Structure 1
Amino acid sequence: MILTQEQILAVHQSNLESRYRLTSKAIEGFEKFLELNMRVAKTALTENLDGAKRALSAKEPRDLLEVHASLVQPAGEKAMAYARHLYEITSETQKELAKVAIAMLTEGSQKLRETVDNFAKNAPAGTESAMAIVMSAIIAADNAYESLEKAAAQAVEIAESNTQAAATVATNAAEQVCVTDRAASKKTSTSA
């Protein structure tokens, strides 16, 4: 079967649109990542300046420990919030890219089936077994893709669980540091 010029143009048009959708989703994710980093950098700059000013104005070691304690806990919480936001952006972008890819693969598979069906209708006698093999290969490829899609979904679930566990551990560690700093600050103030 020979493809017509219109069919070839339609395939190229479809490929261009698919690439555009994929690139757009990737750029949207990157923009969100940049926006998050800019927001974090501006906030960190302001807070670091404020913390440095407070540390420089400390009159006693106890005051310096209090400044340190006031900075440690929020820093840990902010790091965890940043990690969660980063994970959300990455996860959302991955899901959007997967949607586009699934649509592309579904469309491509459908077009391939249509082409094979058209070819089979016009194929010379005696090629039925070859056409059956081609259709079996297409079905096997579709089944393999579905298996990969399910495995990817499971991997995302595991990653989300691991991220949540890491966030809990880090938050607990930051809280422990804050408790330790407060205890040290109290010791210093009772010693003085």
Structure 2
Amino acid sequence: MLTPEQLIASQKANLETLHGLTTKAFQGVEKLVELNLTAAKAALSESANHTQTILSVKDAQELLAIQANLFQPLAEKAAAYNRHLYDIASDTSAEFSKAFEGKLAESQAQFATLVENASKNAPAGSETAVAVMKNAVAAASNAFESVQKAVKQASDVAEANYSAMASSATSAVKNATAAAKKTR
């Protein structure tokens, strides 16, 4: 049985975890807002500069050159923005996962202790049922660890694919811009 002190300590730990996760969530939102404000300011400034440049164009050839030079930096900035966005989401998600895994490990340990205590106080002849229960707990723990490893591997693969895709897209825009410049 749990004592009142153990219950209070457990509730206090849960509240501290909730506070920590809420703080991390707000930090993630703050970073996202900061990223969006920075991107909006930069886009507004660049738009004004680009408009001024277009207004000073003297012929169609110069206009085409200006437009061709616009696409490469735009693609690079979009890739950088998406990378920052991914990093913010990934960091926040990692904090939540770490907290969840910690609480789950704690719960598993408490449950294992409960099963162990129950097995010590079990009536004679119930050894088979206790062994089955212990095996079920061990199997569930192993299954959860396997799922965690699979999720981690899938996450790593997704991140690698995202990085490769962003790099490929940026390279494609650079190549297209270079090709457009050569045709002029």
State TM-score, norm by structure 1.
Answer: 0.84
1:88 paired with 2:87, answer yes
Deviations 1:119-141 (A, max 9, x none): 33233333333332222222112
* Deviation readout 1:108-163 (Å, 9 max, x if unpaired): 11111122222332333333333322222221121111101111111122112211
State the match for 2:134 in structure 1.
135
Match of 1:167 in 2: 166
Gaps of 5+ in 2: none
Match of 1:126 in 2: 125
Alignment match, 1:35 = 34
The aligned residue for residue 61 of structure 1 is: 60
1:72–1:177 Cα contact (<8 Å) kept: no
Amino acid at match of 1:31: E
How many Å apart are 1:183 and its aligned residue?
A: 3.4
Q: 1:13 & 1:137 partners in 2: Cα distance?
A: 30
Paired with 2:128 and 2:60, the residues of 1 have a C-alpha distance of: 87
State the shift of 1:71 in Å: 1.5
Question: Measured at CA, do residues 124 and 22 of structure 1 come closer, stay the same or move farther in structure 2, by a change above 3 Å?
Answer: farther
Amino acid at match of 2:150: A
Q: Is the 8 A contact 1:73 1:175 kept in 2?
A: yes
| RMSD, aligned CA | 2.0
Contact 1:120 1:131 in 2 (8 A): yes
Equivalent pairs counted in the alignment come to 184
Q: Answer with 109-118 or 19-28: which moved more.
A: 19-28
Which letter does structure 2 place at the counterpart of 1:177? A
Q: Pick closer, same or farther for the CA change 1:10–1:127 going to 2, 3 Å.
A: farther
TM-score, L = length of structure 2 = 0.87
Per-residue CA deviation, residues 59-87 of structure 1 (Å, 9 max, x unaligned), is 21122122212221100111111122222
